[in-house]
Amino acid sequence: MNPVRIYSVSLGCPKNRVDTERMLACFEPAFIPVDSPEEADVVLVNTCGFIAPAVQESVETIIGLAEEIADLEPRPVLAVTGCLVSRYRDELIPEIPEVDLWLKTLEADRWPEAIAEALGREPHIPEPFERALSTGPSFAYLKVSEGCNHACSFCTIPNLRGRLVSRPLDVIEREARELVAAGVPELVLVAQDLTAYGMDRGEKDGLVPLLERLLPIDGLRWLRPMYLYPGGLTDGLLDFMRQAGSPLVPYFDIPLQHAHPDILKSMGRPFARDPRIALERVRSRFPEAALRTSIIVGYPGETDAHFDALVDFVREARFTHLGVFGFCDEEGTRAHELADKVPAEVIEERRARLMEVQREISAELLAEHAGTVQDVLVDAVHPEWPGLHVGRTWFQAPEVDGVTYVSGPGVAPGAMVRANIEEAQDYDLVALA
């Protein structure tokens, strides 16, 4: 059987990336990734539809690729999948008729069959753990559940990806073991809410038995949990994580979204009390913890006083990493119906001000690492500087945090090296192995 040549684009979150990798596995054992649409039999776009900028990026990507392949003979199959399709398929079909397949996220089980049919081939239906990795040799995302049971007022995810469905423990463990056996040193656990794992099966602290399965895997160097909702950081979970030790890294990504109780209540956050409580729970057990959070500024009704309280909170909390996003007024959400909208220019001013506060904090925290020796996991060769590589320390998550630029003997993608931290910048480090 001739191999299928595939050009793929994965937009949005790491959970989407995993979906793309599983989709590519449906072409196993005979597919070849190619570097341009002109070389492809299939052009595959996995879209994001979470907020307006992501929708715009997805639509522009689809239209651009449709134009690139329009005059090719034979013309590749153009397949579009993901959250944009889940949200706007009926509107998009007449607007972009060049697309051959529109496949919603919740139809993922039929993606292989639909694409194979468009190619005139027999489908290969991948096992639940089969993936064609696209993250390089140093790490892989491990998605443990799909969907979300929360009802945050600003969020479209439950409508796009459905309610929480936890993957079976045995399937996750097998996938993890195969990834590590293939040489992947770091697994990054992702879900819409990692702490909710198992709740759809009636389990409390369901993340604990999952960690118990994954931590003993021979060859696993780092296990990094992402998207830990503050309300799910129970004493039981944190006590287990404290005693677990390596390879679990003390990195806590806790999406707080705001700090003022008025705004948190309006947002419908699952932990609308003082967010300091969640941070204190973590730091009392992990004084060395790297803390990451995401904040939304300009939510409807956010006054200057609300924002000033948020700035004070960020100064006090001293997060290792902080993502700041301006509120997006999304149709179909409860927040869209709220009055007292904050003007766009004020939203941007607040975002820039909070990022400047975080820049100073980040520079101060990274300066404390100058002169220390750290394990650095090497991700890739620097695209512009021969001999220099891009890597990360344990307190730097892939694709969302700063990086460590590293050079020296033994430095190569996928390697973990001991390196001296020579320089600290605002968000990045420079190291010599």
Query: What Cα–Cα distance (Å) separates residue 196 from each residue in 154, 167, 172, 261?
Result: 19, 12, 15, 23
In Å, how far from its chain's centre is CA 316?
A: 26
Among candidates 205, 142, 146, 144, which has minimal Cα distance to 177?
Answer: 142
Map residue 415 onto helix, strand or coil. Answer: coil
What is the DSSP-derived secondary structure letter of residue 168?
P
Among candidates 419, 410, 428, 425, which has minimal Cα distance to 375?
Answer: 419
Q: At what angle do helices 276-285 and 304-317 cross, to 10 degrees?
A: 0
Residues constituting the chain: 433
Put the strands of the sheet holding 290-297 in their side by side order: 251-253, 290-297, 321-326
Measure the CA–CA gap between 258 and 251, rounded to whole angstroms.
Answer: 20
Q: Is 152 annotated as a binding residue?
A: yes
Query: What Cα–Cα distance (Å) separates residue 240 from each residue in 89, 123, 208, 211, 285?
Result: 44, 43, 7, 9, 10
Q: Contact, 433 vs 419, CB < 8 A? A: yes
Query: What Cα–Cα distance (Å) separates residue 128 from each residue in 106, 194, 276, 398?
Result: 15, 19, 39, 24
What pairs with residue 290 in β-bridges? Answer: 251
- Residue labelled with tokens 């001000």: 353
Q: Is 48 annotated as a binding residue?
A: yes
Q: Is 26 annotated as a binding residue?
A: no
Map residue 108 onto helix, strand or coil. Answer: helix
Q: Contact, 177 vs 131, CB < 8 A? A: no
The 3-class SS string of 141-156 reads EEECEECCCCCCCCCC
Element (H, E) at 341: none
Query: What Cα–Cα distance (Å) separates residue 60 from each residue in 15, 57, 66, 84?
Result: 21, 5, 10, 12
Q: Is 328 annotated as a binding residue?
A: no
What are 361's two structure tokens?
Answer: 């904090």
Residues with Cβ within 8 Å of 276's Cβ and at least 6 positions away in sequence, in order, are: 313, 316, 317
Q: Contact, 222 vs 176, CB < 8 A? A: no
Measure the CA–CA gap between 384 and 404, rounded to whole angstroms.
Answer: 15
Residues placed in the known binding site: 13, 48, 83, 148, 152, 155
Residues placed in the known binding site for [4Fe-4S] cluster: 13, 48, 83, 148, 152, 155
